[in-house]
């Protein structure tokens, strides 16, 4: 790598601005909604848990990411990006006007599908617009904006919910989505439609959505007595996921190429991706519940108190990248999860209705810092043990598992909360403590599996590279 770079920022372009803005919308909508969950729960009394609003979005996005990428390759960037932004914006309008929780969840599924299209086209659009060093700089700038969007989301969500109510977190997407669509229509060139290429894995995407959706419905409903309907839904989940595994082993362009998981280092990296979102998104949903229902903080204060997690994650992501020049990736990932586990353990031992907010800052920072350090080497490990021609599939797999981890984590930890929590401040704190304790166990498990699957003494040997 050259010692001096001629340019530290990529040349600005409308395409770069479009990709940054649209990606920020998608990322923000993963976490901004968590701030409004207490108010959504208070308004709707349907049998489905309000946490399903997070689950439906992330599961739909994860299940359809690879399908969206295949459609983009076949139909061209311009029509698919325009369709994705339109879908996301219209679904945001439907969510903002939702009369019932069922309507809101259906809107979030459609919104997740639009988000998958937007996200999967981000790097291809930058690759088409830039080349050489400028391309690397543009992708780096895009990644920085995506991380910053996660940092902004709790604060923005808190302010919107406190001033305008929970519907504002969806309504804010309307002017931004319209502006993004107009910009895309003006900037993106038309391209001839491709008729060749790998078959789109529609069966895999639909089976994954059906299986994960059914499984999470059962987990989100564990606060009620088990019924015959729950047994049927669980059976549907099992059958759908089993058929999905068979389909994925036979299709030419699978959503998840299961054979790659036979490589220990790849499996370890993907498990780290999955658990990271389980803990970060799934855990923060119930931490927000504690701040709002147990500590009685306002939505704006809740958003501010969530900021240390994402701020620390953003800063230490760069630290983790630097550590890779000295330590093997497995050791860096293990260190990150150990720090995350320490933060979760301290939080689980500390939180109570009367705990002052400042007493939570240190463990919140540790939780976020661990996530930043652990996340930095994951892509390097996954790419290093994969053939060069499959790097695109690796990126799609990372995105898919990250989104699914957020949804499944929210549902699974919700099952823990449903069995231990309640409605009064002390019961809420007890339930959240149980969630954080389970999260700490998962973080420790991540340390062990990382050190076993990814050799902590060396970088995995590259595959297919001279």
Residue 229: Cβ within 10 Å count: 11
- Specify the pTM: 0.82
Length of the chain in residues, anyone? 466
Closest to 155 measured CA to CA, from 28, 343, 280, 37? 28
Rounded mean pLDDT, 42-54: 73
Closest to 58 measured CA to CA, from 83, 26, 80, 84? 26
According to the model, what pLDDT value does residue 46 have? Answer: 53
The three-class DSSP label of residue 45 is coil
The three-class DSSP label of residue 166 is coil
Residue 227: Cβ within 10 Å count: 10
pLDDT, tens digit, 9 for 90 and up, residues 396-448? 778 788 888 888 888 888 888 887 767 788 888 998 999 999 999 999 999 99
Q: Which residues contact 319 (CB under 8 A, 6 or more apart)?
A: 372, 373, 376
Per-chain mean pLDDT for the chain: 82
pLDDT, tens digit, 9 for 90 and up, residues 85-129? 999 999 999 999 999 888 998 999 999 999 999 988 887 888 778
Rounded mean pLDDT, 57-64: 85
Least confident of 27-36, 77-86, 334-343: 27-36
Euclidean distance between CA atoms 440 and 363, whole angstroms: 12
Rounded mean pLDDT, 74-85: 88
């Amino acid at each position: 790598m050259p010692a001096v770079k001629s340019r530290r920022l990529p040349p600005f372009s409308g395409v770069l601005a479009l990709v940054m803005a649209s990606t920020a919308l998608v990322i923000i909508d993963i976490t901004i909604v968590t701030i409004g969950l207490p108010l959504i729960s208070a308004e709707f009394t349907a049998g489905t848990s309000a946490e399903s609003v997070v689950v439906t979005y992330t599961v739909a996005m994860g299940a359809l990411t690879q399908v969206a990428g295949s459609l983009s390759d076949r139909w061209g960037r311009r029509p698919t990006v325009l369709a994705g932004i339109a879908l996301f914006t219209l679904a945001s309008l439907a969510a903002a006007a939702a009369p019932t929780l069922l309507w809101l969840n259906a809107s979030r599924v459609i919104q997740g599908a639009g988000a998958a299209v937007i996200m999967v086209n981000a790097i291809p659009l930058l690759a088409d617009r830039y080349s050489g060093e400028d391309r690397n700089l543009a992708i780096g700038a895009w990644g920085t904006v995506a991380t910053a969007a996660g940092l902004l989301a709790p604060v923005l969500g808190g302010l919107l919910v406190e001033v305008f109510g929970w519907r504002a977190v969806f309504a804010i997407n309307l002017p931004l989505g319209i502006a993004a669509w107009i910009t895309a229509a003006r900037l993106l060139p038309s391209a001839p439609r491709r008729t060749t290429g790998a078959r789109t894995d529609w069966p895999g995407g639909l089976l994954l959505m059906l299986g994960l959706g059914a499984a999470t419905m059962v987990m989100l409903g564990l606060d009620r007595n088990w019924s015959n309907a729950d047994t049927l839904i669980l059976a549907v989940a099992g059958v759908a996921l089993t058929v999905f595994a068979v389909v994925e082993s036979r299709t030419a362009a699978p959503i998840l190429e299961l054979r790659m998981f036979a490589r220990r280092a790849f499996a370890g990296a993907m498990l780290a991706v999955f658990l990271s979102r389980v803990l970060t998104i799934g855990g923060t949903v119930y931490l927000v519940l504690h701040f709002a229902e147990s500590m009685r903080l306002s939505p704006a204060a809740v958003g501010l108190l969530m900021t240390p997690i994402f701020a620390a994650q953003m800063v230490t992501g760069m630290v983790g990248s630097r550590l890779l020049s000295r330590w093997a990736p497995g050791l860096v990932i293990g260190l990150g999860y150990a720090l995350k586990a320490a933060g979760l353990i301290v939080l689980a031992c500390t939180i109570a209705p009367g705990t002052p907010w400042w007493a939570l800052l240190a463990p919140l920072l540790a939780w976020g810092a661990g996530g930043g350090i652990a996340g930095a080497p994951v892509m390097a490990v996954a790419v290093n043990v994969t053939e060069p021609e499959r790097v695109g599939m690796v990126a799609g797999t990372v995105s898919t598992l990250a989104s699914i981890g957020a949804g499944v984590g929210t549902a699974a930890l919700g099952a823990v909360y449903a069995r231990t929590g309640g409605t009064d401040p002390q019961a809420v704190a007890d339930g959240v403590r149980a969630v954080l304790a389970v999260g700490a166990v998962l973080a420790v498990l991540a340390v062990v599996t990382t050190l076993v699957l990814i050799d902590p003494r060396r970088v995995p040997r590259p595959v297919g590279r001279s």
